[in-house]
Amino acid sequence: MIEALSVYLLAGGESSRMGLDKGLIELHGKPIIGYIIDAVKQLTNDITIITSNDNYKQFKWPIIEDIYKNMGPASGIDTALHDAKNEWVFITSCDMPFIDAMSIKHLVTLSKHYDITLVKNKHQIEPMFACYKKSCKDKWRSMLLQNNYKLSDFINQFDTNFVNADEFLGVNPRLFLNINTPLDLQKANAWMNK
């Protein structure tokens, strides 16, 4: 277990590409979010799902709604930072079934001297697999209320540790794969069957 860690799983509404709430989609006989819960509960008992969908109550973890609606992931992060009881806040989305406890633990270890720690590869950052310091909350809220919802703009305003994705992908090459389309789900099921 990791002391002083709160975990928030962002489970937004219906996905336009999948046609339903991604976290509840069955992957190999289990809802996608179930795999994520299995990973994070190895590290902390402080787990919260951010959603307005009551169907997530079946997982028996606290549920809260976004404080500011319809502002995308930036609003979910804002809600998590203001709700968190602990100094460190790990945030991920509900559609990444291959995340694992060891990778999260490594990320948290790398976060100790930064406001935000996240993974970066050649082309993009991974703000939905990131550790945020709770003390970011007021500045984050201020930026959110300026109606800018682009996560890269937020992250560049903090002391951010951009960790090379290779540190994680060498151990878990599927870590950052998310389920956005029926084809993604088909591939994931095929991997699970191997």
Whole-angstrom Cα distance, residue 110 to residue 132?
A: 11
Average per-residue pLDDT for the chain: 92
pLDDT at 14: 53
What is the fold, at CATH topology level, of the domain defined by 5-193? Spore Coat Polysaccharide Biosynthesis Protein SpsA; Chain A (3.90.550)
Q: How confident is the model at residue 15 (pLDDT cuts 50, 70, 90)?
A: low
50 phi, psi to nearest 5 deg: -95, 110
Return the domain boundaries, the chain.
5-193
pLDDT at 181: 87
Q: What is the pLDDT of residues 76-126, one digit of tens each?
A: 999 999 999 999 999 999 999 999 999 999 999 999 999 999 999 887 899
Whole-angstrom Cα distance, residue 194 to residue 189?
A: 9
Q: How confident is the model at residue 19 (pLDDT cuts 50, 70, 90)?
A: low
pTM: 0.94
User: Cβ contacts of residue 41 below 8 Å, gap of 6+?
Assistant: 47
User: What average pLDDT does the segment 64-78 reach?
Assistant: 93
- Nearest 5°: the CA angle 164, 166, 171 is 135
Q: How confident is the model at residue 49 (pLDDT cuts 50, 70, 90)?
A: very high
